[in-house]
């Protein structure tokens, strides 16, 4: 697992330096003596010297690379290379598991390629541009069917011509990032379906004509015309890509269909040729619709944030403007029932916010001044005013969408296996078909025409479409299912590998516990006091605590319901507590040390304090001038969900371990409450790092759960890093492999369950696709199978795996 991820900050020594240094070298020059300007790239998952070494090894010995300059602090790499070598270098870096993104690239043009749907078609485009001098970088976004090319204009035109020759149609995207074709309009959808259904009608007519009428020249001519029209109507794009692949010596899905349909037409099986192409087009349309649905599960998040916001103006008026025009620190008003347009901090009003679109929380969360709100969430109860903290392009919602898009573009292990398998499988099937065509007349007693027909049937049956399409649909569906539950998984590799987790290391503060102190006990020293006297003591404690900004004082003030009184001569004593005069009497709210210094401790009081302190509580005492009158115990309380999460992990066979820097007594108390048997306290960051290594050796694949900042070394060394409370935290979004957006520890076992279901569905799909094809291959060789039956089998297999993959969207991640 570590090798798959190539851990962030895997070497703790490199994390402190921030940047790798290299000796000064002369400016790189080309063979003709001209200076080569280095191209800079950001590599988000390149964090330390070990990963720099991997990239250096990937590029070792590659001709045309003049220099490499690494900046680990900014995760940047500057490559000075000859024009032909740069694309090869970037491809080698990608194969090593990294994603170079151009920085400050000049002349970057974005294009939409409507018929670029999956990784195999991305590979075709890469091969079409392979070795073309002058292309600085290629950035693919399969989710949006977009390609960004960094190249000068003359080279850009050559690249576009090469893409067109490969059978694709790049359409330029303007500054707004949209084109007429960029939006999958209903009209475009129904046009495609209209053509496919029209082609099917013509194919059925050709089939009926051949069946119902005698074999005469007029009937043949009419039937061939109908068949040709059906093929032209449904298969023009397939033919274009197939012929381009054959010209370049590549055997892909489109090449197989082109050969099969053309061969069938030439040997006189024109009705079946038309039926094959029409059914294939319909299958492609259904698959494209299904894939769009999976991608749309993420893209629909875009619609959550409104396009306009009601913004306070300098003249006191409120005006609705586009969210892209709203600046940071602007004041925005959100009415009841409206969606929050931008991330911000509440400045006025109190309301309940439905945060389920972003965090997956099932219940609304109360918001008051000082609380964060996130774009796309829903204001339910009352009007709020917020101060905008991030532009629309950098809101939590926008970052979620970007992160999932990046995750979609990275191929999961099973997907990489399928791509490699298909690359071998397709040529092998082509060779098998040729062997049948050549040898069947000798070995099986068939005529040459029968052998050719059987070979063409084999090509159609063996088309690897179902196999290739099965994995991306399943992975995208799994990522979308997680995002809907507030689980942001940063790549298909983590979605698949989470099923292997054997141990989870859990930070205490903010992960198992709430992360902020609360008043858990208020006890009068004199247990005989009545309710009225007790309320008087609470009022004294709140009066003093409310004047202090210390976290413990705030917890006491928030935990006592009595109203505060006026405090005179108030003062805070550093390291001791606070003191003030109330109704002419002096009172202190003091720690244990100050009470001892004041000479107000007793053996009985010490015994009572020891009970609290052994439970990991912070004790503060309310005292008058003469004696201690009340005990306030404050603690970081366990989250209501933590015990259930730990129990769920144990059911899944995962061992929970607590790693915390807090004292061992407090850690053991919290561990007991959460149901964690193995607890380690008083740990420094380097101790947690060593603990992760020990867990990996002892138990196997280990995950770390923390806040994504203080626990960065341990998160990095773990096989999978989970960041808790990621909503609005840039660092957590960057550092973790999985971000739990709503701070609910139960999302960990949900992620493991989702990973196990995704893995099961992936292999179900592979078994379905290969099993169905194997059965029909045997039927085609040893029995009688026609071409239209073959395409029905191929279409059926494709639809089965697509809809099986989409099942993940209909299930809750927790089931």
First to last CA, the chain: 25
Decide: 551 and 516 in contact? Cβ < 8 Å.
yes
- Residue among 706, 747, 745 nearest 729 (CA): 706
CA atoms of 203 and 278, how far apart (whole Å) = 7
E strand or H helix at 717, and its extent? helix 712-717
HSE value, Cβ hemisphere, 13 Å, CA-based, for 471: 27
H and E: helices and strands count for the chain: 27, 30
Rg (CA), the chain: 33
CA atoms of 153 and 139, how far apart (whole Å) = 17
CA atoms of 280 and 234, how far apart (whole Å) = 8
Number of Cβ within 10 Å of residue 15's Cβ equals 18
CA atoms of 579 and 571, how far apart (whole Å) = 5
Name residue, tokens 């970007």.
402
- Residue among 394, 377, 402 nearest 326 (CA): 394
CA atoms of 542 and 578, how far apart (whole Å) = 12
Q: What does the H/E/C string look like for 587-625?
A: EEEEEHHHHHHCCCCCHHHHHHHHHHHHCCCEEEEEECC
Task: Give the relative orientation of helices 186-212 and 217-247 as an angle to the nearest 10 degrees.
Answer: 130
Residues identified as active-site: 507
CA atoms of 311 and 385, how far apart (whole Å) = 9
Decide: 414 and 471 in contact? Cβ < 8 Å.
yes
CA atoms of 465 and 288, how far apart (whole Å) = 12
Decide: 94 and 140 in contact? Cβ < 8 Å.
no
Residues 6+ away with beta carbon under 8 Å from 282: 196, 197, 200, 234, 795
Report helix, strand or coil for 231: helix
Q: For residue 137, give the DSSP letter.
A: E
CA atoms of 143 and 473, how far apart (whole Å) = 11
CA atoms of 102 and 493, how far apart (whole Å) = 23
Q: For residue 566, give the DSSP letter.
A: -
Structure tokens of 721? 């890093």
Decide: 67 and 26 in contact? Cβ < 8 Å.
no
Decide: 718 and 498 in contact? Cβ < 8 Å.
no
Structure tokens of 53? 């070494």
Are β-strands 503-506 and 702-706 bridged in parallel, bridged antiparallel, or unpaired?
A: parallel
């Amino acid at each position: 697992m570590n090798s798959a991820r190539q851990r962030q900050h895997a070497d703790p020594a490199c994390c402190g330096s921030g940047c790798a240094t290299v000796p000064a070298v002369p400016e790189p020059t080309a063979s003709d003596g001209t200076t080569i300007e280095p191209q800079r790239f950001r590599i988000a998952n390149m964090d330390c010297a070990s990963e720099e070494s991997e990239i250096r090894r990937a590029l070792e010995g590659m001709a045309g690379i003049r220099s490499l300059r690494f900046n680990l602090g900014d995760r940047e790499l500057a490559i000075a290379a000859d024009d032909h070598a740069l694309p090869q270098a970037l491809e080698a870096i990608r194969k090593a598991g990294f994603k170079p993104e151009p920085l400050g690239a000049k002349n970057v043009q974005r294009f939409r390629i409507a018929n670029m749907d999956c990784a195999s078609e991305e590979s075709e485009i890469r091969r079409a541009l392979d070795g073309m001098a002058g292309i600085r970088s290629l950035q693919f976004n399969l989710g949006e069917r977009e390609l960004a090319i960094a190249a000068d204009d003359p080279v850009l035109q050559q690249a576009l011509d090469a893409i067109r020759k490969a059978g694709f149609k790049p359409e330029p995207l303007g500054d707004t990032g949209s084109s007429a074709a960029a939006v999958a309009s209903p009209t475009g959808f129904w046009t495609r379906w209209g053509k496919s259904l029209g082609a099917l009608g013509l194919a059925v007519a050709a089939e009926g004509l051949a069946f119902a009428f005698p074999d005469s020249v007029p009937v043949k001519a009419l039937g061939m015309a109908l068949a040709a029209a059906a093929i032209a109507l449904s298969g023009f794009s397939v033919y274009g890509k197939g012929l381009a692949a054959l010209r370049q010596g590549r055997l892909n899905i489109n090449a197989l269909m082109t050969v099969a349909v053309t061969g069938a037409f030439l040997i006189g099986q024109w009705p079946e040729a038309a039926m094959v192409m029409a059914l294939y087009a319909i299958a492609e349309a259904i698959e494209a619709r299904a894939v769009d649905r999976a991608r749309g599960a993420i893209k629909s998040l875009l619609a959550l944030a409104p396009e306009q916001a009601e913004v306070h103006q300098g003249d006191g008026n409120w005006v609705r403007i586009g969210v892209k025009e709203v600046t940071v620190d602007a004041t925005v008003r959100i009415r009841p029932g409206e969606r929050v347009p931008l991330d911000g901090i509440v400045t006025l009003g109190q309301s309940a916010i439905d945060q389920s679109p972003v965090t997956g929380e099932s219940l609304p969360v109360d918001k008051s001044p000082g609380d964060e709100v996130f774009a796309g969430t829903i204001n339910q109860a009352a009007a709020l005013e917020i101060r905008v903290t991030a532009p629309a392009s950098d809101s939590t919602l926008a970052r979620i969408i970007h992160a999932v898009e990046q995750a979609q573009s990275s191929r999961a292990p099973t997907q990489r296996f399928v791509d490699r398998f298909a690359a071998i499988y397709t040529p092998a099937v082509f060779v098998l078909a040729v062997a049948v065509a050549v040898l069947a007349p000798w070995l099986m007693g068939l005529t040459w025409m029968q052998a050719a027909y059987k070979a063409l049937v084999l090509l159609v049956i063996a088309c690897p479409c179902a196999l290739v399409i099965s994995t991306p649909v399943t992975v995208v569906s799994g990522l979308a299912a997680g995002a809907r539950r507030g689980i942001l998984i940063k790549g298909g590799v983590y979605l698949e590998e989470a099923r292997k987790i054997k141990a989870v290391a859990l930070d205490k503060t903010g992960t198992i516990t709430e992360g902020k102190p609360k008043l858990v006990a208020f006890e009068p020293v004199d247990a005989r006091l009545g309710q009225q006297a007790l309320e008087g003591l609470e009022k004294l404690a709140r009066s003093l605590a409310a004047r202090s900004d210390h976290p413990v004082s705030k917890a006491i003030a928030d935990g006592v319901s009595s109203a505060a009184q006026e405090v005179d001569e108030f003062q805070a004593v550093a390291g001791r507590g606070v003191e003030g005069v109330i109704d002419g009497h002096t009172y202190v709210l003091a720690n244990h040390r100050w009470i001892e210094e004041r000479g107000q401790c007793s053996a009985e009081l010490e015994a009572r304090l020891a009970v609290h302190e052994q439970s990991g509580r912070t004790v503060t005492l309310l005292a008058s001038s003469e004696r201690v009158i009340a005990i306030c115990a404050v603690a970081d309380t366990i989250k209501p969900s933590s015990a259930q999460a730990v129990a769920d992990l144990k059911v899944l066979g995962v061992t929970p371990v607590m790693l915390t820097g807090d004292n061992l007594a407090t850690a053991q108390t919290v561990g007991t409450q959460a149901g964690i048997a193995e607890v380690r306290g008083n740990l420094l960051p380097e101790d947690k790092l060593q603990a992760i290594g020990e867990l990996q050796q002892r138990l196997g694949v280990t995950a770390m759960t923390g806040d994504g900042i203080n626990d960065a070394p341990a998160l990095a060394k773990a096989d999978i890093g989970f960041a808790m409370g990621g909503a609005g935290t840039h660092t957590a979004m960057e550092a973790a492999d999985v971000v739990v957006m709503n701070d609910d520890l139960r999302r960990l076992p949900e992620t493991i369950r989702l990973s196990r279901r995704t893995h099961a569905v992936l292999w179900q799909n592979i078994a379905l696709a290969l099993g169905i094809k194997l059965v029909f291959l045997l039927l085609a060789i040893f029995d009688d199978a026609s071409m239209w039956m073959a395409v029905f089998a191929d279409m059926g297999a494709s639809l089965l795996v697509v809809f099986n993959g989409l099942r993940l969207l209909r299930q809750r991640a927790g089931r």
